[in-house]
Amino acid sequence: MVMGLKCSFCERKAIINMREHRLMLCEKHLIDFMRKRVEKTIIKYKLMTKNDNILVAVSGGKDSLGVWDILNALGYHTEGLYINLGIDKYSRISKEKVERFAASRGLTVHEVDIPKAIGTSTPMAAKAWKRSICSVCGMIKRYWMNRYAKENGFTVVVTGHNLDDEIATLFGNNTTWQIDYLQRQSIVLPETHKKLVKKVKPLAFITEKESAAYAIARGIDYVYEECPYAKGATSVEFKYILNLLENRFPGFKLRYYNGFLKNKKIFGDSHVKLNECQVCGFPTTLDTCNYCRLKKHISQTAKSLTI
């Protein structure tokens, strides 16, 4: 709650000061603002329609549960997908939050159990493959979001990436001039292959602070703690730097992101050639996708691994 200040639209007490919009909002008007802003993004960028069968990737965090709540309130047909990464207590608590949220709203949630799918937990898989946990985790989630959606008739996959996530990625790619990544970063990732499902980010213009305030206003019980393996991640450091800029120059985040979207064409078009994995048949730039390569490596080193 913003002490002593009233909502810009009514006499209720404000719970958030949105300096970038010059607004102070109570619970009711924050909920209205968030839903209208997401709906505007959906319409402007043609993310989905009411005829789509939508799969929302949910982690138990404020963003994924919040966007699922918003889409449900807006009347879209949605189901959830929880990818259990096998990260000890963190995954157990996350799963409980997702299941409780779905049950309280009469929504359907599906689960992919990674330890069962690959034979070990994500942290152990990363250790065995000698890769960073974050990169292996990201690869596994991207693979299963698409595969589950494709195999089960979903036409759109929704993720909870917020504005802070998007500009942290953008900032990182800018600092090293990763042109190929800058070409591909988008609010909409289209179906560029017959086995790819369209992936969209309805919260792309919603800050992390706004997302957290919405979750609280809606009584969403979410996982407050970061993944235990996220500590020290470059994205976390970038968010800290970008928050300093936002505090000094309110609206910086939105201007930075909107500027990128407006001028993205200067980086050219992405021309990634996709093949079908020789093992699973899903799209990859290689002969065998990284997920199948990981599974093979784990099966070959199974004696030294434990779930």
pLDDT in tens, 84-96: 999 989 999 999 9
Give one DSSP letter per residue of 223-280, joined into a string: --SPPTT-TT-HHHHHHHHHHHHHHHSTTHHHHHHHHHHHHGGGG-------EE-TTT
Contacts of 295 (CB under 8 A, 6+ apart): 117, 118, 119
**Would you list the domain boundaries of the chain?**
38-271
Confidence of residue 2 (pLDDT cuts 50, 70, 90): low
pLDDT average, residue stretch 230-236: 81
Q: Has residue 305 got a pLDDT over 80?
A: no
pLDDT in tens, 196-231: 999 999 999 999 999 999 999 999 999 988 888 887
Mapped onto helix, strand or coil, the DSSP state of residue 39 is helix
Select from 3.40.50.620, 1.10.760.10, 3.90.420.10, 1.10.443.10 the CATH code of 38-271. Answer: 3.40.50.620
Distance CA 147, CA 156 (A): 12
pTM, 2 dp: 0.93
pLDDT in tens, 101-156: 999 999 999 999 999 999 999 999 999 999 999 999 999 999 999 999 999 999 99
**Interior angle at CA 276, CA 46 and CA 130, nearest 5:** 95
Q: Has residue 302 got a pLDDT over 70?
A: no
Query: Which pair of tokens denotes residue 148?
Result: 């589950």
